[in-house]
Chains A and B, each alone.
Chain A
Amino acid sequence: VNAPRGGVGGGNDFQWCFSQVKGAIDEDVAEADIISTVEFNCSGELLATGDKGGRVVIFQREQESKNRLLSRGEYNVYSTFQSHEPEFDYLKSLEIEEKINKIRWLPQQNAAHFLLSANDKTIKLWKISERDKRAEGYNLKDEDGRLRDQFRITTLRVPVLMPMDLMVEASPRRIFANAHTYHINSISVNSDYETYLSADDLRINLWHLEITDRSFNIVDIKPANMEELTEVITAAECHPHQCNVFVYSSSKGTIRLCDTRAAALCDRHSKFFEEPEDPSSRSFFSEIISSISDVKFSHSGRYMMTRDYLSVKVWDLNMENRPVETYQVHEYLRSKLCSLYENDCIFDKFECCWNGSDSAIMTGSYNNFFRMFDRNTRRDITLEASRENSKPRAMLKPRKVCTGGKRKKDEISVDSLDFNKKILHTAWHPKENVIAVAATNNLYIFQDKIN
């Protein structure tokens, strides 16, 4: 029986099972190993992670083998490369971290794969390609590499290509630099497949994928006087089908949708999404927790989802005054905002993602918990990325955080949550129920098991 595509599991349709975990087990986590972004490619066959050490690791899904029915394509390391190096801006006396902020795959155009990776300042286009042939036969050297006497050359040898072990190469194809004064928070490839946008705190630039020496500034919210600064851009994304539409979110909890057809500069938005504030819940932290940390269009292009500190909202692009769906991610933290402010957790930037059919969404929380919401049944579930019970195909147990005084069995109290273990980055396979969850330096891969 085929389960309906999507769904969050935990019901009688299917359950999430452990599949794999990548990364070291050590308690001591090297800063450089912390995963800072996770992204499936368009087919889901490849999965890329970036880390704080500037490295990109690409995993490839194994071909499913017939005699191992239950192992449905594990992901194995395909290529690892150093994408960014630490740099120093001598003019501004600023260190530029090598941390990979975002990875975006390009649609596949030939046998090779391409991705964009960005740190705070620079975006790079990488090509990942395979090589399985090697040229053999030299004129001036023999098979063992010894030089031949040049006067003994009586015939010319043309090299012949011979099969060899598969080699995967990653090579930098383009470097898009010097266009961002502030830190890049988003990159997004346009559906025209020839341009992409990059956003920092105050500006959004539009690039042509083949041109590195110029970009067009399409949004600039920098006030003439920086003391008048009241909001920053937190994320931006191109519409999946309409090449002229993009959105960007702000620290004030609003989202602006712009149409690049209307004008060359998109300072004036064409739609403005904002939910009126509930005056009863207003507090000192209201503005901080309403800041949007991620915005994602649904695959269909009809909806978009935004993540703020406590909730995920789904917006219909045709309705600007309120979201069509709101999901509480960890409402129990509302009473803890004061201490979360003190330990800076309140500024954590949680991302969110859709499943392939837009019927479910996923986002992270603390204590290595992550949440999924089924949009049709309104069911939600909390799961944990942990090494306990990480046997292959072991079922994931739903977790529960108790808020009241009495703690039931299997529940965890708010006070014992570990706020150092946070799941900020997750990714959902574009076609199947396979998810990748980054927990500090470990990457967990879970998949569904059909009952």
Chain B
Amino acid sequence: ASGAQGPALVEGVGLGMAGADSDDSLYPIAVLIDELRNEDVQLRLNSIKKLSTIALALGVERTRTELLPFLTDTIYDEDEVLLALAEQLGNFTMLVGGPEYVHCLLPPLESLATVEETVVRDKAVESLRKISHEHSPVDLEVHFEPLVKRLASGDWFTSRTSACGLFSVCYPRVSSTVKAEIRQHFRTLCSDDTPMVRRAAASKLGEFAKVLELEYVKSDIISLFTALASDEQDSVRLLAVEAGVSIATLLPQEDLETLVMPTLRQAAEDKSWRVRYMVADKFSDLQKAVGPEITKNDLVPAFQNLLKDCEAEVRAAAANKVKEFCENLPEDSRETIIMTHILPCVKELVSDTNQHVKSALASVIMGLSTILGKDNTVEHLLPLFLAQLKDECPEVRLNIISNLDCVNEVIGIRQLSQSLLPAIVELAEDAKWRVRLAIIEYMPLLAGQLGVEFFDEKLNSLCMAWLVDHVYAIREAATCNLMKLVEKFGAEWAQNTIVPKVLGMANDPNYLHRMTTLFCINALSEVCGQEITTKHMLPVVFKMSNDQVANVRFNVAKSLQKIGPVLDSNCLQTEVKPVLEKLASDQDMDVKYFAQEAISVLSLA
């Protein structure tokens, strides 16, 4: 075990052994090995995660002959243990003696690749793919490829699904005879009896196509793609869509029309909404894969149809892609296509019956303004933005507001402000607190775009009203919002507009509001700086140290601890220290505790 000595051995086992005997170093390893079968799954997991330590101690020979056979049959264990094992084995090549012996890792990974739990299988396949690169070309044909064949012709679909992910890694490195066999195996799996295997094959079709010679892509892959894309199960067909995108990138432009497009067109009009959804979801990739000409002739009408689909899920997925699709249109005809083909559909979506569709559109529609420029934005898009700002669904309004910056760059925000304000006010007072929370989060952004004057005039009162909201999360967010506003508008602005109002709340009869004053001070002291903190905030904090509610008093202690670093040392010693000392002898246990904590953190003891 001499080769096993190293810091990794004792680390983590937690046994500080005073070793006189050299074999003492075996003890932690012995513990790890025994714990491979501990009843406590956490301990088993811990041992599996240190498998490399065990292997190092056993040496390459015993790892191959004893440890791996044991692990091969350990597939009874919990998923998380198996997952960890599958991952470990991907990094085990050196521990079994290097690339020469890497094939010893195949049996345990093979058994892991057949378990029912998808995450474990996927991890086993990932590790197999990893170690496939460490096989010599000969070993790949002697050991690895037979494993793939075994999995591919296994009785259970779990093993056949795993096989699907392994073809692409061995294909490029085997002889042409074996290549032909691999293609045949893949073909068989594409027409497997079970939909699970066909799904696995469909999802790996694109990846497999990438490693095939172009002639076989055209002959084999296209027919498989066509078959999978017209599978009876829509769960298979929808996976073929993505494969189609990958295949399209591999083919020369002149072949696309005959080999791929008929199938993709059919997918865009599939009877199942899930397949059409997939087409909508992959639309940008598809657009890039087929190039500008096909985009103009085929994808534009297809996209229009998806935007008008009868299923809301499909319309929402397509609406999400509106901006990206328009951006990627060929430049020479971009504006014409958008204005004549896309915009009419977009206009309809603005008043869609489904709120998810509208909110998906609202999250991207503002991006069109940069593409269309100032005049078109004012004439065509602005009415849509305004309509969406008045939408009944708060999420739609929020999505518009959260993307205001796109429009700001093109036409400035003033054009919108008349409609913006009522929308913001309404959201600010929405009955659902999550909606209020969302609009608060956009406040700093809005403030930046609208400018300080507009803000003071119209929005400041809203920000103050949130401080006394009856939901804590809103009050908390409002506090944070003030800090961000001060960062934007500066300390002087803070002193004139918000600090007096915040400090005024210190006299509120509701103790929750008095605490809000303290939370605001915590947030604001640093951005407002030493002068404002010392001169305006600190006296209020001191005064509150006499509050009759203990929660307020201990928050005073916490606040002092928080703002301490902003204050100068003289102030700390002469003013803060006496207050904290008084609080440290408070009747209330929590007040005492936090006062003492503040004293020690600020080193005032």
Name A's B-contacting residues (CB within 8 A): 107-112, 114, 127, 129, 131, 133, 135, 138-141, 150-151, 153-161, 173, 191-194, 210, 241-244, 260-264
Given A153-B26, A156-B57, 16 more A-B residue pairs with CB atoms under 8 Å apart are A109-B158, A133-B73, A158-B33, A158-B70, A161-B69, A191-B195, A191-B233, A192-B235, A193-B194, A193-B195, A244-B234, A244-B272, A260-B274, A264-B273, A264-B311, A264-B312
Are B37 and A194 closer than 8 Å at their CB atoms? no
Number of interface residues of B (CB under 8 A): 48
Closest to B117 in A: A173
Interface of A is mostly: loop
A153-B27, A160-B70, A161-B73 known; A109 and B116 CB under 8 Å?
yes
A108 to B234, CA, bound (A): 22
Interface of B is mostly: helix
Closest to B20 in A: A151
A135 to B23, CA, bound (A): 25
Are A263 and B310 closer than 8 Å at their CB atoms? yes
Name B's A-contacting residues (CB within 8 A): 1, 21, 23-24, 26-27, 29-31, 33-34, 36-37, 57-58, 62, 66-67, 69-70, 73, 76, 114-118, 156-159, 194-196, 199, 232-235, 270-274, 310-313
User: Pick the contact of A109 from B29, B157, B273 — CB < 8 Å?
Assistant: B157
Are A261 and B30 closer than 8 Å at their CB atoms? no
Are B33 and A242 closer than 8 Å at their CB atoms? no
Are B66 and A158 closer than 8 Å at their CB atoms? yes
Complex contacts, A107 vs chain B, CB 8 Å: 194
A261 to B232, CA, bound (A): 12
User: Pick the contact of A129 from B76, B159, B234, B271 — CB < 8 Å?
Assistant: B76
A192-B235, A264-B273 known; A112 and B194 CB under 8 Å?
no
A153 to B272, CA, bound (A): 66
Are B37 and A261 closer than 8 Å at their CB atoms? no
Are A111 and B29 closer than 8 Å at their CB atoms? no
Closest to B313 in A: A264
Complex contacts, B195 vs chain A, CB 8 Å: 191-194, 243
A154-B23, A156-B57, A159-B33 known; A109 and B156 CB under 8 Å?
yes
A270 to B156, CA, bound (A): 35
A327 to B194, CA, bound (A): 36
Are A261 and B273 closer than 8 Å at their CB atoms? yes
A159 to B58, CA, bound (A): 13
Closest to A263 in B: B311
Closest to B274 in A: A261
Are B311 and A161 closer than 8 Å at their CB atoms? no
Are A158 and B62 closer than 8 Å at their CB atoms? yes
Complex contacts, A129 vs chain B, CB 8 Å: 76
Complex contacts, B1 vs chain A, CB 8 Å: 156
A3 to B156, CA, bound (A): 32
Complex contacts, B273 vs chain A, CB 8 Å: 261-264
Distance (Å) between the CB of B238 and the closest chain A CB? Answer: 11
Closest to A169 in B: B76
Closest to B30 in A: A139
A112 to B30, CA, bound (A): 32
Distance (Å) between the CB of A131 and the closest chain B CB? Answer: 6
Residue pairs across A and B with Cβ atoms less than 8 A apart, 23 shown, are: A107-B194, A109-B116, A109-B156, A110-B158, A140-B30, A140-B31, A150-B27, A150-B30, A153-B26, A156-B1, A156-B58, A158-B58, A158-B62, A159-B33, A173-B117, A193-B195, A210-B118, A243-B233, A261-B272, A262-B273, A263-B310, A264-B273, A264-B311
Distance (Å) between the CB of B100 and the closest chain A CB? Answer: 22
Are B235 and A153 closer than 8 Å at their CB atoms? no
User: Pick the contact of A110 from B27, B115, B233, B234 — CB < 8 Å?
Assistant: B115
Closest to B66 in A: A158
Complex contacts, A111 vs chain B, CB 8 Å: 156
Distance (Å) between the CB of A313 and the closest chain B CB? Answer: 28
A127 to B23, CA, bound (A): 43
A140-B30, A154-B23, A264-B313 known; A159 and B70 CB under 8 Å?
yes
A140-B31, A263-B311 known; A135 and B37 CB under 8 Å?
yes
A260 to B275, CA, bound (A): 12
Distance (Å) between the CB of B512 and the closest chain A CB? Answer: 27
